Every structure is written in C-alpha cells, then in structure tokens.
Amino acid sequence: MSTYVVANPATGEKSAPFAQTTDAAVAKAIEEAHAAHSTWSKSTTVAQRAAMIEKVAELHRERREELAEIIVREMGKPLGQALGEVDFTADIYSFYATNGERFLADEQIAEFEGEGEAFIRRSSIGVLLGIMPWNFPYYQVSRFAGPNLVLGNTILLKHASQCPESSAAMEKMFRDAGFPVGAYQNLYIDSKQAETIIADPRVQGVSLTGSERAGAAVAEIAGRNLKKVVLELGGSDPFILLSTDDMDATVEAAVAARNDNNGQACNAGKRFIVLEKHYDEFLTKFTAAMLESVPSDPMADDTYLGPLSSESAADGLEEQVSRAIAQGAVVVNRGDRKGTYFSSVVLTGITPKMDAHHEEFFGPVALVYKVADEAAAVALANDTPFGLGSYLFSTDKEQVMRVADQIEAGMVYVNGVGLDSPELPFGGVKRSGFGRELGRFGIEEFVNRKLIRILK
C-alpha cells in the first residue's frame, strides 16, 4: 500500500493522506480509458486534440504561481526553478499542439516502385499507463501525456506518492481543457495495482521514469504481458573538460550541471573529468563555487539550493558519501547538513574499486577526476553502467566531433548545460533505459505505423 501525502521537506509539515484509489475504481478507470479510446480518440482529429493540448499549455501559464508553489511544498524545489519548470512544461504541450499534425501526417514510402501506392498512416494504439517521479512533477508528465494525447492514446497516470497535490492539479487542467472522461486520469495506486493495470489486455503500453529497480520490475511485468515499454532511468553523466577559453564560465556551467534542482536530476553532471593541465584551477574554483550556494528556504526569491526531497533521501545520500570516504575518497570540502538541507560536497580520489565510481549520487555531491589525455577522458566517461546524458567542453571543433562520437550516452551537450528543449529528443542507453521522449521521437513511441497499400 502506498501513502500519498505532501511532506514539505523544508518545514516538516505534512498534509492529511490522500485516499488511495480502490481496486474497483482502478477497474472503472481502465474501462473509461478504453471507452474513451474507442470513441473520443476515433471521432476527433489530430487538430482537435492538438487544440485541447494547447489549452492545457495555456492553463499551465495562467496558473503558474499556484502550480509552482505546490511542488515547492511537495519536493523542495526552489520557487524560481519551480516557475521555470511550469513554463517549460507549457512549452512542451504547445510544441506538440503546434507540430502534431505534421508529425502524424501520412508518409509515402519513397522506395516503393510497385503498382499503385504505399504509405504509412500513424495512429494511436490505446490505453497507456504512465509512472512518474517526484523530481520534476509537471515536466515529466508533459513529456509523456502531451504527445500521446495528441496522437489519440488515453492516459492512466500514477505519480510519485509525494506528489498527490500536483497530480490532482494536472488532472483538473486536462478536464478544464475539454478532455472527456477517460482521456486522462490520475490514480493514487500502489505497485500491485500498477501491475494489474499493465497486465490488463486493454492497456497497450507503459512509460516509467524512475529508478533502475523500478524500471526492471516494470519491464519484467510488461515483457511478460507483451506490452510496449519506455524507460527513463538513472544517470551518472560525465562533465568532460578538455579545453576552455573561459574557466570562470565553465565552472559556472559545472555548478549548474551538478546542483540545479537541488542536484536531483537524472541527467545532472555528476562525474567531472578534467584534463590534468586544467585540473588544479578547475578544482579550486569549482569547489569554492559549489560551497557558495548554502541551502536555504525554497520559497525565497533568491534561493538556488533548497532542501533534498525528504529526510530519507538526505540520509541515503549521507550514507553514500560516508561509504565513499571509508573506501578512500578524499573530501576536498563540504558544507554542513541540517536535516534535509544538504550542502555541497566535492570528492576526489575516486577509483574503479569504490562503490562511488559506479553509483548515482542524487544530490549536490560532485566527483572530480584528473585524466592525462583525451583517450583517458573518454574511457573514464564510458566506465559507468549508465548512459543517459553527457557534457563536453572543448574549444576544438574536430575534437568535439571525435569525442562526441565515442561517448556512450543518449545525449551529448557541448559547451553548455541546461540546453534541453521541447524539440530535442531525451533518453539514454545502457542502464539508463530505452526509448525517447520529446521531439518528433516522443510521439513515435506508442504509435501504430500502419502500412496501407492501394493497388489502384
């Protein structure tokens, strides 16, 4: 059984628990989602569904302050960053509203030389389950729900147990935008109920963003029931510094790569791999800049680093740091921890024999490595079970292309951070999952690419 409750990590205040969705209500939700796909999805055009998604975008913009304050309470995101998340979420919905018809237009098969014509028509496949994380409560949902509702799939949404208020606010916006009963439904369910939903023959796929453990469990259930699955899991993204003509700007980017969203992002820069000729300068400036951000009240306008999402999250991160030190890691510097308020930590001396070398640190903890040359940097960057994103800093364009080709990750961002955009696909390889969200590829995951050949 899951307990859905808002537990403010900044203050310790807790809301009353939200009632869990009953098994009977789950069964009704599946039936309503299936019925909506059989009726509404078939009777509306892409343009009509896109207009509804654009209305969802407008409602996010109209209610941005209220929506932002909700997720500050739920997971401690600083208010300025919460407002930014709401704005980016609205842009994602608008992107699919604007481009849906073009993405889903019939595609002639150019290579076909037979009699008549042959083309691909893209259509929905049915009911989908989304299982979403707490660290980006609105953004993560938009990447899944936006493209699939434009396509005509219907959505059952299980959010993280600490996000009951934001998940309810999203369902209300879909209803207010004109989506019918069954098109988008928020469910307060546990893992057993999620398994029941995935197994139901009316449900055609599942998308999960979360931990490796959750991803493996969902993939196993989906595979057993022959359901399509998209997984966006953890990451330990490398930040590779090979050359720079502005060390201060590079350090500023490195801090943002590590500590945006309180350091709780799957695609955050977590391992900083620095060519030895830049190492001392980078480490000195980076450590000082990391320690400048003192965790403070997430509702304050000037707060950059807020609390971690929960006491248990802070305890888990503390245990990882302590274990790394016990295994030989060197603490360059660190601030104080006060409950959920976890100050930045910079560690060096990490070796492949240590747990830290292979783990993901979900919070403001940076691992800094010194390497002799480009080849060593690439080898170290790829020495991880993860393969989500990466950051590459170099002033040499030929080097950029050479190294980018060798990095084992789903995304390579060059000479910048925070470069995500609705039109750019997001996803990873290795233990970071499979499938893509955002961009054109995000609307192609749960789609029937139906061949139609007409002889005459």
Q: Which two tokens stand for residue 368?
A: 């800094």
3-state SS, residue 289: helix
Q: Cα separation of 119 and 418, whole Å?
A: 38
Torsion on CA atoms 389, 394, 395, 397, rounded to nearest 10: -60
* 266 flagged as catalytic: yes
Of the residues 163, 171, 266, 360, which is catalytic?
Answer: 266
Angstrom CA distances, 439 to 18, 100, 147, 444, stand at: 34, 11, 9, 9
3-state SS, residue 137: coil
Of the residues 54, 85, 195, 232, which is catalytic?
Answer: 232
Angstrom CA distances, 202 to 35, 125, 223, stand at: 10, 10, 15
Going by C-alpha positions, the residue among 389, 393, 185 that lies closest to residue 274 is 393
* 398 flagged as catalytic: no
Going by C-alpha positions, the residue among 202, 184, 208, 228 that lies closest to residue 126 is 202
User: 90-103 in b/e burial notation, b at 16+ Cβ within 10 A?
Assistant: bbbbbbbbebbeeb
Q: Cα separation of 111 and 211, whole Å?
A: 42
Place of tokens 């190294």: 403
Q: Which two tokens stand for residue 386?
A: 């993860």
Given strand 269-275, what is the order of strands in its sheet?
330-334, 345-348, 365-371, 269-275, 237-241, 391-393, 413-414
- For 158, list phi and psi in degrees, rounded to 5: -105, 110
The runs of H, that is alpha helices, within 335-409 are 374-382, 397-406
The per-residue DSSP string of 8-21 comes to -TTT--BPPPBPPP
- Which residues are designated catalytic? 232, 266
